[in-house]
Chains A and B, each alone.
Chain A
Amino acid sequence: MRDFLGNIGSAAGLLLAGVCRLFGLGVRILAVSVQGSPTKRGARREAFVRQMVLCGFDSLPIICLVACSMGMVLALQGAYQLKQFGAVMYTGSLVSVSVARELGPLMASIVIAGRIGARMAAELGTMKVQEEVDALTTMGIDPVRFLVVPRCLALCVMLPCLVIVTDAVAILGGFVIGVMSVGINPDLYLAKSFDALVLKDIYTGLAKSFLFALLIGLVSCHQGLSVQGGADEVGRATTQAVVTSIVLIIVVDCLATAIFYYALPT
């Protein structure tokens, strides 16, 4: 019993320490991005653009595939359930609202956590192992400013954009199924889709995705930079980055939804 409590205690301690370290990294990122550096904006922007292309543009195909499948499945399953109440025509509303509020941000973030989070953790981890991070430090270049900031910033800009794409493609996927397979009138489907959608659905979704982007960036970069040792450590950090990101995304999603829809006045 005592062991059990002790384990819980130490696990909670570790969790707290982890959260504190993440928070610390976040504060450093903020400090560095606010103070900026007067010289060499150009080089910095170049790195930023490269990261944006990497996590934004290059993720488009997989994001579209996932979004489209998600919209189709939602429409199929939703129509089947709604049919029992004679409310098939609301399939569009169901798809658009659930995608905009929850599934769009969640799915896009999880895909990006797997694609970009893992990449960042492995990249930074390898750089750490091969003393590249030390080399940066000895050159008087802050690794957080040089490596972490462009990555986190790019994620925070690109993930909300990707979420918009996800929402649109998922609604389109639902539309295709709704019209072709379920047999709903196209105009009616679209009208119902957009009638049900209010602005709040969209912007809470985007706000959440911004939070998720921050989480992915912080967790992955932190994992990458905390690698000590060799290749197996890099592997461990990569797995840890993805797992932690996804778990945190889901937990934070739950909290954010509670806050947006229940705590805050509508």
Chain B
Amino acid sequence: MSPSIIQVKKLSKSFGDRLVLNGINLVIPEGKITVIMGGSGGGKSTLLRHMVGLTKPDAGSIEIEREDIVRLAPEKMNDVRRKFGMLFQGSALFNSMSVFENVALPLREHTDLSDEIILIIVKVKLELVGLTGFEDFLPHQLSGGMRKRVALARAIALDPKIVFYDEPGAGLDPITASMIDQLILDLSQKLQITSVVVTHEMQSAFRIADQIVMLHKGKVLEVGRPEDIKTSSNPFVQQFIKGEHEGAIPFRQTREAYLKGLLET
């Protein structure tokens, strides 16, 4: 396996008295695609927010290129942040700016490029996500899937070393979703960009992943290559892959458990 670019060690975080991340250990290899999977509310977005330094953990460390970002001064953190782009689950576009301005913002803020060059770069990035001609639209004039793609264009505007994607395919039609998958693959294979992708879509996960991380109840359940995960003997993992509602993780509880739950609250 290639050298690691991100190392997460014993990461724990609780919100109130709810332990959301419980001692996560994770190594993200450089230039590869790591897919994080897990149930809804399992702490995937929270894990990503830790990796980009938006949330401080209660315990543990996160090293990006050997630099512990948990204990880094804010100014230094901004230098680290230039290395990565992030696609938020809810897109997080700037609503008062047009599509063009959204994608151009990181370029304008972090580079000295002239306006003509920025225009060209933005056009190229929008082309990549299949949104040519939408430069002058405002985010609220776009559909959810289009917004997601603009956010993707913005995340890769600066050609970052690492890109974090929080559910890039959610809310997209299968064709666009597979186009995004292809884009992530291209970025990783042609430009050696490290990708960390959170997704629920099994198909796309198995297609793009070099490494799959299964997250369950704040813990890493299993890490491995897609083939290993597919043949995993862990019942949780199998249930997740097959998308069954009955299995190791009970969806519909037994009558006794249900009653017990009611009485306890």
Q: Which A residues are within 8 Å of any B CB, using their own CB?
A: 39-40, 43, 123, 126-127, 130-132, 134-135, 137-142, 146
Cα of A127 to Cα of B95 in the assembled complex, Å: 8
**In the bound complex, do residue B92 and residue A130 qualify as a contact, i.e. CB atoms below 8 Å apart?**
yes
Please tell me if B52 contacts chain A, counting CB pairs below 8 Å.
yes
**In the bound complex, do residue B111 and residue A39 qualify as a contact, i.e. CB atoms below 8 Å apart?**
yes
Q: List 24 A-B pairs, Cβ < 8 Å.
A: A39-B109, A39-B110, A39-B112, A40-B108, A43-B108, A130-B90, A130-B92, A132-B93, A134-B49, A134-B54, A134-B88, A135-B88, A137-B53, A138-B52, A138-B53, A138-B54, A138-B84, A138-B86, A139-B106, A140-B82, A140-B109, A140-B110, A141-B109, A142-B78
Total contacting residues, chain B, CB less than 8 A: 25
Cα of A159 to Cα of B94 in the assembled complex, Å: 27
> In the assembled complex, how far is the CB of residue B206 from the closest CB belonging to chain A, in whole angstroms?
28
**In the bound complex, do residue A132 and residue B106 qualify as a contact, i.e. CB atoms below 8 Å apart?**
no
Cα of A142 to Cα of B76 in the assembled complex, Å: 12
B residues within 8 A CB of A141?
Answer: 105-106, 109
B residues within 8 A CB of A43?
Answer: 108-109
How many contacts between A and B, using CB within 8 angstroms?
59
**In the bound complex, do residue B111 and residue A135 qualify as a contact, i.e. CB atoms below 8 Å apart?**
no
Cα of A94 to Cα of B240 in the assembled complex, Å: 80
Cα of A211 to Cα of B234 in the assembled complex, Å: 65
Q: Which B residues are within 8 Å of any A CB, using their own CB?
A: 49, 52-54, 78-79, 81-82, 84-86, 88, 90, 92-96, 105-106, 108-112
**In the bound complex, do residue B81 and residue A131 qualify as a contact, i.e. CB atoms below 8 Å apart?**
no
A residues within 8 A CB of B96?
Answer: 123
A residues within 8 A CB of B95?
Answer: 126-127, 130, 132
Beta-carbon nearest neighbor of B106 in chain A: A139
A residues within 8 A CB of B52?
Answer: 138
B residues within 8 A CB of A126?
Answer: 95
Beta-carbon nearest neighbor of A137 in chain B: B54
Closest 3 CB pairs of A and B: A140-B81, A131-B92, A135-B92
Cα of A123 to Cα of B52 in the assembled complex, Å: 24
Cα of A202 to Cα of B37 in the assembled complex, Å: 65
| Pick from A40, A132, A135, A137: contact of B109, CB under 8 Å | A40
